[in-house]
Structure 1
Amino acid sequence: MKKIYPLVAVACLALGCEQKQQKTVPETAPVALGEPDRTTLPIKEPARALYKELDARQVKAPARFDVKAPNGAPNVVVILIDDMGFGASGSFGGPIEMPTLAKLASNGVSYNRFHTTSLCSPTRVALLTGYNHHSNNAGSIMETATAFPGNNGVRPQSITPMAEVLRQNGFSTAAFGKYHETPPWEISVSGSLDRWPTHSGFDKFYGFIGGETNQWAPLVYDGTAQVELPHDPNYHFTTDMTNNAISWVRFQQALTPEKPFFVYFATGATHAPHHVPKEWIDKYKGKFDQGWDKMREETLERQKKLGIVPSGTKLAPKPKDIKDWASLSADEKKIFSRQMETYAGFGAHTDYEIGRLVSAIEDLGELDNTLIFYIVGDNGASAEGSMNGLFNEMTYFNQVPETVQDMLKHYDEWGSANTYPHYAAGWAVAMNAPFTWTKQVASDFGGTRNGMVAHWPAGIKSKGEIRTQFAHVIDIAPTVFEACHIPAPKSVNGIQQDPVEGTSLLCTFDDAAARERHTVQYFEMFGNRAVYADGWVARTIHRPAWQFKPDHTLTEDVWELYNTSEDFSLADNVAGQNAEKLKSMQDLFMKEAEHYHVLPIDDRLVERTDAKLVDRPTVMDGRTTLTLGEGMKGMGVDVFINTRNTSYTITADVEVGANGNGVIVCQGGRFGGFSFYIKKGKPAFTYNYLGLESYTVGAPQVLKPGKHTLIYEFKRAENKPGAGGTGMLSVDGTKAGENNIAKTQPGIFSVDDLADVGTDDGTPVTDYAGASKFNGKVAKVTIETKE
C-alpha cells in the first residue's frame, strides 16, 4: 500500500511552533473516531466478545486487532557518528570528505547549533528517549556509574525509549552498530536483559554493547547472542553492520511494505581505535602536513564561506597544553600527520558505508518518505589520545605514556589490525574548530556542538538551508513523534511517564525564522558544567580530557560568561562586565542541576572505574573465587573475576590427547591480557603487557594423553597498582616453570576483547601455534584471588 505523506505544516501549526520551550509535549488533538488511544501503551485491545451460537459458520468473526502506525507516518532513520567534532566533516567546513552527508544536506536542512552531552552513553540515552542524560540516570558512561540517582546507569521505568514507543505504535524497529546503554554488570546470560536493545524497543539488534570495538575483530551480538565472525582478512565491522542493516530493511519492506520502519544506525567509527582499510588512509596522504594550527584556520575560513558560522566568528583560543605545530620535531610531525590521515580515512569510509544504506532505501522507493537525521558525532572529537596520540589506546586507560619513537615503529601499519590507535589531542582541538575544547568538556561547545542534517523530501520543502535555532539531542525524539503523529505516552505498562524534556524541531524544517523553542539547557560531565539560556552561556572548565584529575575543587572553579548571539565560538569571556548576569546564570544552573538529578556532582574519573569504591554493582560483587567451564566466553570486567592488582591462582582440570593445543582460559587480547593455554602439548601462561611486552611461563615437557591438573600462580611483589611479581606453573602437583612478570596492567585489558574459556575470541593474547580453540576438554577452571 502506498504511503500517504503527512501534512507537516498542519501538524506544526497544531503544536504551536511559536511557543517557548516547555518541559511537556503539547496535548494532541482528541482521538478521532476509530483511532486508538496512543497515550497509553500498550494500546489496549478491545474486549473479547461472548457468543451463544454453536456453529461458527453462522457468525461473522470480529475484525482482527492489529496496531497500525498513523496513516502517512514516515520511516525514520537516525544515523549517529561516534567521536566526530563540529569542524571535521566537509559539510561543516572540515577536511574530511563525506559526500553522503553533503548530498543529504543539499536536499535537506543543516543545523549549526545542535548539541550533545560531550560523552557516548549519555548522548545515546538522551537521543533515544527525549530526556536529559541525568534524567536517564546516565550522567556519565555506564562504566563509571555510581550509586546516586542521575548516575546509577539504570534507566527509570518512568522513561520509555523512542524505539519502544514506535514499536508499540506499529513500526518495525532495528538498531545496528554501537549501543553503549546497557549497564556493564548486566552484560551476561544472567542479565537483566531489560536494558539490552531488543528489550528496549528494537525488534532487531546487530552490533556491540560496549563503548568501542576493534573494527577488525569486534565482539558482536545478534540480539543477545554473541556472533561468530567470518575468518575474512578483509572483514571490517562498519561494512558488516551496513550489510546487516541493508538486508533487514529489504526484508522488512518485502514482507510488510505498508509498515514504516525505524532504523538506528550508530557506527563505532570514528571512535578509537582508528581502524580503516589502507586505501582510505592513502586518500589523505600529505593533506595534514600543515599541522593542526593551520588546519583550524583553514576550517574556520571554510565555515564562514559555507555560512556554517557567522562571518565575524573568531577562532577560540587553543588550550595552552597543545603545542604549536611549528615547535614540533620532524618525527613528531611525521607520526602526527599519519594519525590524522588515518582518522580522516576512517571518517570518509564511514560516510561511504552510510551512503550504501541510504542508496538501498532509495532503491526501495522509500527515501522520499523517510525522515533521516544524520548526526555528525555523539560528542566533540576525542582528546583521549593525549599529547602524542597512541599506538594502543589501552595505554591511556592504564595511564602508561607512549613515546613518539615507539609509535614511529608502527608508522606503516597505522590503522591496521596490528594497531589500536588514537590521534594526538591537537587534532581533536582542530576537528572541533572554531571552539577550544573537546570531548568530555561539557562546558564548551567543542565538547557538545555537533553538525546535524535533517532530510525528508516529502516533509521538508527547504533544500540546502542552514538552521540556527539552538537544539539538543533530546529534541530528536519529540521531533520524530510529531512527524509520525504519535504522542509521547502518558502511561506505559501501567507506569506514569515523566513529561518529555526535549522540544520538537519540526517547525524549523521549513521556517528558518521559526522562534527558538529550546531556550534553556544545562550541561555537565565530570564537573565540567555550563548552562545555556536565551543566547547566554555561563560555564566553568573543571578538567581537560587529557588530565586524569582537575586542577582545583568544584567550589574553587572559576566561571565564565559568553553572549553566543554575538560570539559563536565562545572566544570572548564577558563575565567581568556582567557580574549580575553571571550570578543569575550560576543560580539557574543549580536550579536545573537539582531538578534533573545532576547533584551531587562526582568529578572523579579513574576512581569511578572502581565499582567497589563508588558502590556500583558487579556480578562478582567482591567474590574471591570463580569456577568456570567450557562455553563461557565474552565475559566483561564487571562479570569476570578481577585479577588486576592482586595475587591469584588459576587451577584447571583438563583432558588432552596426543597433541594438546589451545586456550584453557584467557582475558584480553593482542593489546593487553593474559592466557593460560597449551601449545604443541606444553602448558604455558603468557602475560601480555599492553601489546608492548610479553612474559611467558612455560613447561618443558609435553603432556601425556589423559587428565591433568594445571596450576598457574602469580605472587605480586608489591602492594601497589601495576606491580610485577613471580609467575609459577605446576603440572599435576609438580613445579614445571617459573618466570618474572616485570609489569602488570593496573587498569582494564580491553573494552571488547573479553574473558573466554576454551578459546580466545577477538584478537589473540599470544601465538597458539594454530587455532585458539582448545582441542581437548576443559572440565573446570577455578580462579582464586589472594588479596
Structure 2
Amino acid sequence: MSDEKDTINRGILPIPDPQYVGLTTYDAKDPDTKFPPIEPLRPPKGAPNVLIVLLDDVGFAASSAFGGPIHTPTAERLAKNGLKFNRFHTTALCSPTRSALLTGRNHHSVNMGGVTEIATSAPGYSSIWPKEKAPIAMTLKLNGYSTAQFGKCHEVPVWQTSPMGPFDQWPTGGGGFEYFYGFIGGETNQWYPAIYEGTTPIEPEKTPEEGYHFTEDMANKAIKWVRQQKALMPDKPFFMYFAPGATHAPHHVPKEWADKYKGKFDQGWDKLREEIFARQKQLGVIPANAELTKRPAEIVAWDETPEGMRPIFAREMEVYAGFLEHTDHHVGRLVDALKELEVLGDTLIYYIIGDNGASAEGTPNGCFNEMAVLNGMGTLETTEFLTSKIDEFGGPNAYNHYAVGWAHAMDTPYQWTKQVASHWGGTRNGTIVHWPNGIKSKGEVRSQFHHVIDIAPTILEVAKIPPPMIVNSVQQAPVEGVSMLYAFNDTKAAERRETQYFEMFCNRGIYHKGWTAVTRHGVPWVGAYKRSFDEDVWELYDTSKDWTQAHDLAKENPTKLAELQRLFLIEACKYHALPLDDRTFERFNADLAGRPQLIKGKSQILFGGMGRLSENSVVSTKNKSYSVTADVEVPKSGAEGVIIAQGGNTNGWSLYAKGGKLKYCYNFFGIKLTFIESTQSIPAGHHQLRVEFKYDGGGLAKGGDITLYVDGKQVGQGRLEQTVPMVYSADETCDVGKEGGSPVSPDYGPTGNEFSGEVNWVQIDLEKDDHDHMISPEERFKVAMARQ
C-alpha cells in the first residue's frame, strides 16, 4: 500500500464538487487561461479490490477447509495462501447477518432483528435500514469504487419487493451497488430462479434440461462484469459482493455432483461428527484440548432412526454435499478470472463459509418439498413417498432439505444450529481471508474473536477511507465493528473485539473477555414458544478454557453469570434488541406486527405482461372463496397458453388454454394435481374467461368446488379436496399472459407457454358470491380506481 497523502476530504459523501477560484479570461486562447484538469474520482492510492463471498446456510464443519466431509478446493486454495479465522461469528440468521455485514453495525442497530417477512414496528425489528447507517457499498461507491452485487438479497422490506419498489434498500437503489444480478428474498429455486438485473425482472436464458443452474449463471455474470470493469477502468478498484443462494434450501444440484458422495454418509450423523472432530484437530482449526459437545436430546440418535428412512437421510446429505462442492467450484471460477486478469494479488477476499450455522429448518426427517413443511403439512411426505422420490432429490422437480441431524453434524464440534444464536453452532462460521499483497503470513490460523460487523471497518482501513461523517445529507452514526487488519500479520495480537451480544428468536447470549453466558429459548423445528423469558435457563462457559461450550459453569459461578446477564441487557438496550419478541403468528400478520402491506382489500386488477410478482404483491386466495376473471382476445388460430399462474411445480394454480379449451390446474405440493377443463373450445374474438372457487370453510387447507365460465356461461366444473393453507412458494411468482419459473401444470413447459392471443386484464375477487359471472366496464373501472 502507498503512503502517498490523500488530499481529498472524504468525510462528506457525495464528495462536494471542487470550486474554481481564479482569473476568468475573456478569450480561451489567452495565455492566462488556466483551469485545473477534471480528475475522475478514485479512492486513495493503493486501495485494493475487495471481493466478499458469503455462502448461505453452511455450518462450521461442512467445508474440508475446516475439517468437514465436503470437498471445497477453492476454500482450501485460498486458505493455503491466506488465513483461516476460526472464531468468526454471524448472527444465526440470514437477513440480520447480511445487514450487519453490509453496514458494519449490529443487526438490531440497523433494524434487522429477524428476517424481513416478520418485521414489526418496533425499533430494532422494522427491517428498514436507518439513513444514518449507510451501507459500505455506498461509502465505497461515493469514494470511487466500482460496485456490484451478485446472488441473494434478503434485506428488502417485504412491502417494497414488487417490481415497482420503492428501491431504497435494493442493491442498486439505496444499497450502493452500481450493478445487481440476483434474487430478492430468502431463497430461490436454483433451476428456475426469480432473477432481477438491477430492478428489472428477467428470465434465465436456458432451461434445466439445457444445463441451467443459477450458481453457474451468477458466476458467469460476475466474471463478465469484472472483466469489463478491468478492461475499461483498470485503475479503478472494485467492490464485489458475491452471495450465492447456495446452500440454502432447496438443495438443487446436477446429479453428477451429488453422486460423487454416494455411500459417504451411510454411517449416519453421529459417526460423522466424530470423524469431522478428529479432522478438525488434525488441521488445527480447533485446539487439541477441545471437547466434542453432546448431541441434544431433541435430536434423535442415528441408531434410533427407522431403517426405512436411512437411505433417504443419506441421499439428502449426498445432495447437500454435492451442492456445496458445486458452489465452491463456481467461486473458484471467479477467483481464476481474477488471477487471469492479474489482479488476484491486489484483491482482499473474504470467503465467509455460511451466514449462520447449518439449517435445522428441514425438520427431523428432511423433506422432498420444503413448502409442505413451511405450510405445516410435512406429514404428507411419508416414508413411502420419500422413497419413491429418492432419485429426484436435488433435481428440477424437487424442493428438498435435509434432516436436523445433518445440520447438527455440519456444526461440529458445537451445540445447536442456525437460529440458535445462544451457542456457537448457530453463530460460528469458518472464514478465510486472502490478500497476497497485504498479508505476509500464509496458511495460518487466526483465533482472535471477531464478528461479521468487523468486515466493513476492515475494508475502510485497508482502503484508507475514513468512516464518513455525512452521507447523502444525513449525519452518520459510528460504525460498530472493529477492523481486523491488526491480526492479518500478527497471530499473537490481542483481540480487539472483547464484547459481543447475540439474539435471534429470543435465543440470546453475550461474549465478554473469554466468557459467554447464553440461554436457548426454542429450536428451529418447533414453531411455538411454550415458556416465558424468566423460565429460560442460562448457561455459563469459560471459552478461554472450554472452546466448544461443553461445560456449563452456571452453578459453580453464579456471580459471573449474573454479571454477564446484566451486560447482555445493557448491550441489548444499546442496540435495540429489546423488547424480546417470541410471537409467531402475530409477527407473520402484517396488521398485528404493524408493518405496511403492499396489497390490501378483496379485489385486485392485473394487466397482461405483468410478471414475477411475489406472493406479497398479489391478493391472497388461500382458505377462502374467490374468482379470477380474465379479459382476453383469442386469435383465429385458437386459444393456447397461460392466462395467469401463481406458484410453480411444487405448489400453485394456473388458468390457461390447452387445445383451444379453457383449463385450470391446482398443484398441491407436487403430490396431487387437479385439472378442470371446459367442455368446449373458446371461440376466436373478445371474451371473458373465469374460474370460481367456492371454499368449503371450517378451517385451513379445506377443499371446495371449482367452476369455469366463458362469457358468464358455465363450461366446466370439478372439485379440490384439499388446498394450500399458508404459502405457495418462497420464490415462485404470479405472472399474467405467460408463466415464469417452474410450471404449475405439466401441460406446458417453463418456456414457450405464452398465451396465443392478448390478455387485456385479470381481476381477482375474494368471496364474491353474487353469482354475476361477468364484470362490467363500470365495475372494473370502479375497482381499478379503488386500487390507486
Q: Quick check: TM above 0.5? A: yes
Could you tell me which amino acid in structure 1 is paired with residue 632 of structure 2?
V
What's the CA shift string for 1:140-193, capped at 9, x where partnerless?
111111111111111010011111111111111111111111112112233111
Q: Aligned partners of 1:6 and 1:239: how far apart in 2?
A: 37
Per-residue deviation at 1:391?
A: 0.3
Could you tell me which amino acid in structure 2 is paired with residue 408 of structure 1?
T
Q: Does 1:86 align with 2:57?
A: no
Q: Which moved more, 1:69-78 or 1:550-559?
A: 550-559
> Counterpart of 2:784?
none
Per-residue deviation at 1:637?
A: 2.0
What are structure 1's unaligned runs of at least 5 residues?
8-31
Q: Alignment partner of 2:218: what SS?
A: helix
C-alpha root-mean-square deviation of aligned residues, in Å?
1.4
Q: Does 1:201 align with 2:176?
A: yes
Q: 1:63 aligns with which of 14, 34, 37?
A: 37
Per-residue deviation at 1:227?
A: 1.5
> Counterpart of 2:566?
587
What's the CA shift string for 1:631-681, capped at 9, x where partnerless?
111111221111122221111111112321111111100010111111111
Q: Does 1:114 align with 2:91?
A: no
Contact 1:662–1:768 (CA<8 Å) still a contact in 2? no
> Counterpart of 2:397?
418
Q: Aligned partners of 1:167 and 1:612: how far apart in 2?
A: 37
> Counterpart of 1:14?
none
What's the CA shift string for 1:741-779, capped at 9, x where partnerless?
111111111121111111110000002346321111111
Q: Does 1:257 align with 2:234?
A: yes
Q: Aligned partners of 2:753 and 2:581: how far apart in 1?
A: 42
Instruction: State how 1:145-224 maps to structure 2 within 5 Å.
Output: 145-199=119-173, 200-224=175-199
Q: Alignment partner of 1:294: what SS?
A: helix
> Counterpart of 1:225?
200
> Counterpart of 2:604?
626
Q: Alignment partner of 1:206: what SS?
A: strand
> Counterpart of 2:518?
539
Per-residue deviation at 1:135?
A: 0.9
Per-residue deviation at 1:469?
A: 0.8
> Counterpart of 1:314?
291
Contact 1:87–1:299 (CA<8 Å) still a contact in 2? yes
Q: Aligned partners of 1:96 and 1:404: how far apart in 2?
A: 27
Instruction: State how 1:654-669 maps to structure 2 within 5 Å.
Output: 654-657=632-635, 658-669=637-648
> Counterpart of 2:279?
302
Q: Alignment partner of 1:406: what SS?
A: helix
Q: 1:291 aligns with which of 260, 264, 268?
A: 268
What are structure 2's unaligned runs of at least 5 residues?
769-788
TM-score (norm 2): 0.94
What's the CA shift string for 1:404-447, capped at 9, x where partnerless?
22111111121111111100110000000011211111111101
Q: Aligned partners of 2:652 and 2:245: how far apart in 1?
A: 22
Per-residue deviation at 1:605?
A: 3.4
> Counterpart of 1:722?
701
Could you tell me which amino acid in structure 2 is paired with residue 210 of structure 1?
G
Could you tell me which amino acid in structure 2 is paired with residue 535 of structure 1?
G
Q: Does 1:690 align with 2:669?
A: yes
Could you tell me which amino acid in structure 2 is paired with residue 599 of structure 1?
L
Q: Does 1:643 align with 2:621?
A: yes
Contact 2:163–2:200 (CA<8 Å) still a contact in 1? no
Q: Alignment partner of 2:592: what SS?
A: coil
Instruction: State how 1:362-511 maps to structure 2 within 5 Å.
Output: 362-401=339-378, 402-511=381-490
Could you tell me which amino acid in structure 2 is paired with residue 630 of structure 1?
G
Instruction: State how 1:699-714 maps to structure 2 within 5 Å.
Output: 699-714=678-693
Contact 1:388–1:404 (CA<8 Å) still a contact in 2? no
Q: Aligned partners of 1:207 and 1:451: how far apart in 2?
A: 24
Q: Does 1:785 align with 2:766?
A: yes
Q: Which moved more, 1:658-667 or 1:159-168?
A: 658-667
Instruction: State how 1:35-54 maps to structure 2 within 5 Å.
Output: 35-49=7-21, 52-54=24-26
Change (3 A) 1:55 1:527: same
Instruction: State how 1:554-633 maps to structure 2 within 5 Å.
Output: 554-620=533-599, 622-633=600-611
Q: Aligned partners of 2:238 and 2:205: how far apart in 1?
A: 28
What's the CA shift string for 1:493-545, capped at 9, x where partnerless?
22111100001110000111111111111111111111111111111111111
Per-residue deviation at 1:719?
A: 4.0
Q: Aligned partners of 2:730 and 2:23: how far apart in 1?
A: 59
Per-residue deviation at 1:271?
A: 0.6
Contact 2:6–2:44 (CA<8 Å) still a contact in 1? no
**Aligned length in residues:** 758
Contact 1:216–1:237 (CA<8 Å) still a contact in 2? yes
Q: Alignment partner of 1:217: what SS?
A: coil
> Counterpart of 2:214?
237
Could you tell me which amino acid in structure 2 is paired with residue 669 of structure 1?
G
Q: Which moved more, 1:610-619 or 1:571-580?
A: 610-619
Q: Alignment partner of 1:694: what SS?
A: strand
Q: Aligned partners of 1:751 and 1:680: how far apart in 2?
A: 31
Could you tell me which amino acid in structure 1 is paired with residue 26 of structure 2?
L
Q: Aligned partners of 1:186 and 1:50: how far apart in 2?
A: 48
Per-residue deviation at 1:686?
A: 1.5
> Counterpart of 2:771?
none
Q: Alignment partner of 1:295: what SS?
A: helix
> Counterpart of 2:306?
329
What's the CA shift string for 1:183-236, capped at 9, x where partnerless?
121122331111110121111111111111111110111111112212342001
Q: Which moved more, 1:540-549 or 1:726-735?
A: 726-735
Q: Aligned partners of 2:595 and 2:296: how far apart in 1?
A: 34
Q: Percent identity?
A: 50
> Counterpart of 1:100?
74
Q: Aligned partners of 1:441 and 1:644: how far apart in 2?
A: 31
Q: Alignment partner of 1:561: what SS?
A: strand
Q: Alignment partner of 1:478: what SS?
A: helix
Q: Aligned partners of 1:229 and 1:554: how far apart in 2?
A: 47
Q: Aligned partners of 1:75 and 1:280: how far apart in 2?
A: 32
What's the CA shift string for 1:237-258, capped at 9, x where partnerless?
1100001111111110011111
Q: Aligned partners of 2:253 and 2:274: how far apart in 1?
A: 27
Contact 1:625–1:783 (CA<8 Å) still a contact in 2? yes
> Counterpart of 1:776?
757
Q: Aligned partners of 1:158 and 1:685: how far apart in 2?
A: 50
Per-residue deviation at 1:312?
A: 1.6
What's the CA shift string for 1:528-583, capped at 9, x where partnerless?
11111111111111111111112312222111111111111111111011111111
Could you tell me which amino acid in structure 2 is paired with residue 143 of structure 1?
E
Contact 2:624–2:697 (CA<8 Å) still a contact in 1? no
Per-residue deviation at 1:738?
A: 2.0
Per-residue deviation at 1:34?
A: 6.4
Per-residue deviation at 1:136?
A: 1.0
> Counterpart of 1:25?
none
Q: Aligned partners of 2:267 and 2:5: how far apart in 1?
A: 66
> Counterpart of 2:333?
356
What's the CA shift string for 1:452-505, capped at 9, x where partnerless?
011111110111111111100000000111111011111112211110000111
Per-residue deviation at 1:33?
A: 7.0
Contact 1:661–1:768 (CA<8 Å) still a contact in 2? no
Q: Which moved more, 1:717-726 or 1:383-392?
A: 717-726
Q: Aligned partners of 2:594 and 2:626: how far apart in 1?
A: 24
> Counterpart of 1:678?
657
